[in-house]
C-alpha cells in the first residue's frame, strides 16, 4: 500500500519526568500516523513525501526508525514543526511552524513517485498536510489529478480529506471517503449533525460513484454508507488519553483491511477498533496490530435506520 503525505511534521513534546523536563522528538502528520498504523496491522507501506530544511533533515532520521518504506523527494521547502508542552497533563502549544509550499519541479517529482508507488501497490491513501490552508504545501488540484490518474490505472484510492481538497479528490471518484461530521457541516454538505442529515450527505457522495463513505462522529457511533446500506459502527468504550488522531487511525484500519482483501464490514470493524485504541495512547497512530484485532471482535454494527 502507498500513502501520500506531502509534508510530514516534526513534533517536539515536553513532558515531566520526576520534576524535570523530558523532551521527545517524533515524526508526525496525518499521512505518517496512518502509515504507522497500517504497518502495525501487517500491511507494508510506501510513504511518499517531501523532506526539506532542518526539520526535514531530522524527520529523515526519525522516519527511518519505523518499518515504513520512505520514498522522499529532497526539497528546499521546510517541513512543519509543532512544539507542545504536556508537563501539566494538557497539550499546550508553544510553537507551530507551518510547512513551506513546494516549487513546481519539487511537486512534479513528488507527484511522479506517488503515482508510480500507487500503481505498484494497488491501494493508495491520500492525506493532507497539517495546515488547514487549502493551498498549503501542494495545490488543491493535485488531489484531483492524483485520484484520477491512480483510479484510471486500477488503484483503489482512499481519501481522508475535507474542504477543497475533498471536492477536488471527488472529481476523480475515489473508492473510499473518510470524513468527520464536523467537516461535512463546515463544508456545507450536511444541514445538521443528525444521523439523517449526515446519511443524506454521505449518500450524495456515494451517488456520485464513491463505493464507501465513512463519517466519524466524535464519541458517537461512526456512520458508514455504501450501496443501499446505512450502518452505525460502535467501537469498544475506552477511557481516552488523547482524542487527536482517532480518525486517522480509523482510516488506516479501513485501508489495511482492504489491502488484505477483507470485505466492507470487516474493514469497518478494523477501522473502528484502530480508532478506539488510538485514543488510549499518547502516540498518535500507534498501537499493536494484535490489540486492534482483539478490539475488532467487540465492534458492533447496526442499521442506521
**Digitized pLDDT (tens) for each residue of the chain, 305 residues in all:** 999 999 999 999 999 999 999 999 999 999 999 999 999 999 999 999 999 999 999 999 999 877 899 999 999 999 999 999 999 988 899 999 999 999 999 999 999 999 999 999 999 999 987 655 445 789 999 999 999 999 999 999 999 999 999 999 999 999 999 999 999 999 999 999 999 999 999 999 999 999 999 999 988 999 999 999 999 999 877 665 555 557 899 999 999 999 999 999 999 999 999 988 876 655 444 567 788 999 999 999 999 97
Q: Is residue 69 in some structural domain?
A: yes
Burial class (CB within 10 angstroms; exposed 0-12, middle 13-18, buried 19+) of 217: middle
What confidence tens digit (pLDDT) does each residue in 1-35 have? 999 999 999 999 999 999 999 999 999 999 999 99
Q: What is the pLDDT of residue 130?
A: 62
Same domain, 49 and 162: yes
**Cα dihedral value 94, 100, 106, 107, nearest 10:** 100
Report the CATH number that the domain containing residue 305 is assigned in CATH.
Answer: 3.40.1190.20
Cα–Cα nearest to 285, from 91, 45, 5, 34 = 34
How many C-beta neighbours within 10 Å does residue 135 have?
Answer: 10
Cell of 86: 504536556
E strand or H helix at 90, and its extent? none
Query: 211 and 118 in one domain?
Result: no
- In DSSP terms, 199 is beta-bridged to none
From CA 38, how far away is CA 60, in angstroms rounded? 19
Are the CB atoms for 254 and 176 separated by under 8 Å?
Answer: yes
Rounded to the nearest angstrom, the gap between the alpha carbon of residue 56 and the centroid of all alpha carbons in its chain is 20
3-state DSSP percent of the chain in helix, strand and coil, to 5 = 40, 25, 35
Whether residue 188 lies inside any domain: the answer is no
Is 19 part of a structural domain of the chain?
A: yes
Cell 500491511 sits on residue: 43
**How many domains does the chain fold into?**
2
User: Does 209 share its domain with 166?
Assistant: no
Is residue 157 domain-shared with residue 234, that is, in the same domain?
no
190 part of a folded domain: no
* pLDDT of amino acid 39: 94
* 209 and 147 together in one domain: no
* 160 and 216 inside one domain: no
Do residue 124 and residue 268 come from a single domain? no
Residues 163 and 278 in one domain: no
Q: Is 135 in the same domain as 223? A: no
- The half-sphere exposure of 89 on its side-chain side, counting CA atoms within 13 A, is 2
Whether 228 and 169 share a structural domain: no
So what's the pLDDT on residue 136? 73
Task: Give the pLDDT score at 283.
Answer: 47
The pLDDT value recorded for residue 134 is 41
Residue 191 lies in a domain: no
Contact (Cβ atoms closer than 8 angstroms) between residue 35 and residue 45: yes
Apex 267 CA angle, 274 and 187, nearest 5: 80
Instruction: Provide, rounded to the nearest whole percent, the portion of the chain with pLDDT above 90.
Output: 83
In the prediction, which pLDDT does 128 show? Answer: 86
> Is the same domain home to 218 and 136?
no
Q: Is residue 135 part of a domain?
A: yes
CB within 8 Å of 81: residues ≥ 6 apart: 9, 10, 11, 12, 55, 95, 96, 97
- For the chain, the distance separating the N- and C-terminal CA atoms, rounded to the nearest angstrom, is 34
Same domain membership, residue 156 and residue 275: no
Give the residue numbers spanning the domain of 216: 199-305
Q: Write down the pLDDT at residue 135.
A: 54
Amino acid at each position: 500500500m502507498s500513502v501520500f503525505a506531502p509534508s510530514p511534521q516534526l513534533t517536539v513534546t515536553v513532558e515531566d519526568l520526576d520534576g524535570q523536563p523530558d523532551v521527545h522528538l517524533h515524526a508526525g502528520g496525518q499521512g505518517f500516523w496512518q502509515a504507522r498504523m497500517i504497518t502495525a496491522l501487517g500491511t507494508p507501506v510506501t510513504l511518499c513525501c517531501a523532506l526539506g530544511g532542518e526539520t526535514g533533515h531530522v524527520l529523515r532520521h526519525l522516519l527511518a526508525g519505523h518499518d515504513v518504506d520512505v520514498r522522499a523527494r529532497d526539497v528546499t521547502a521546510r517541513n512543519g514543526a509543532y512544539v507542545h508542552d504536556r508537563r501539566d497533563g494538557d497539550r499546550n502549544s508553544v510553537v507551530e511552524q507551518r510547512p513551506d509550499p513546494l516549487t513546481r519541479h519539487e511537486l512534479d517529482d513528488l507527484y511522479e513517485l506517488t503515482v508510480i508507488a500507487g500503481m505498484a501497490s494497488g491501494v493508495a491513501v491520500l492525506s493532507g498536510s497539517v495546515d488547514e490552508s487549502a493551498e498549503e504545501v501542494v495545490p488543491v488540484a493535485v488531489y484531483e489529478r492524483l485520484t484520477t490518474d491512480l483510479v484510471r490505472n486500477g488503484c483503489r484510492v482512499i481519501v481522508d480529506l475535507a474542504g477543497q481538497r475533498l471536492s477536488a479528490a471527488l472529481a476523480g471518484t475515489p473508492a473510499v471517503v473518510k470524513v468527520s461530521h464536523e467537516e461535512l457541516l463546515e463544508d456545507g454538505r450536511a444541514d445538521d449533525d443528525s444521523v439523517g442529515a449526515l446519511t443524506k450527505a454521505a449518500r450524495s457522495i456515494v451517488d456520485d460513484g464513491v463505493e464507501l463513505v465513512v463519517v466519524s462522529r466524535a464519541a458517537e457511533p461512526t456512520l458508514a454508507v455504501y450501496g443501499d446500506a446505512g450502518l452505525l459502527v460502535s467501537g469498544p468504550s475506552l477511557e481516552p488519553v488523547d482524542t487527536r488522531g482517532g480518525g486517522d487511525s480509523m482510516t488506516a484500519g479501513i485501508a489495511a483491511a482492504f489491502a488484505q482483501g477483507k470485505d466492507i464490514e470487516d474493514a469497518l470493524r478494523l477501522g473502528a477498533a484502530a480508532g478506539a485504541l488510538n485514543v488510549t495512547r499518547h502516540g498518535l497512530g500507534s498501537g499493536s496490530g494484535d490489540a486492534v484485532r482483539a478490539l475488532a471482535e467487540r465492534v458492533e454494527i447496526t442499521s442506521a435506520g
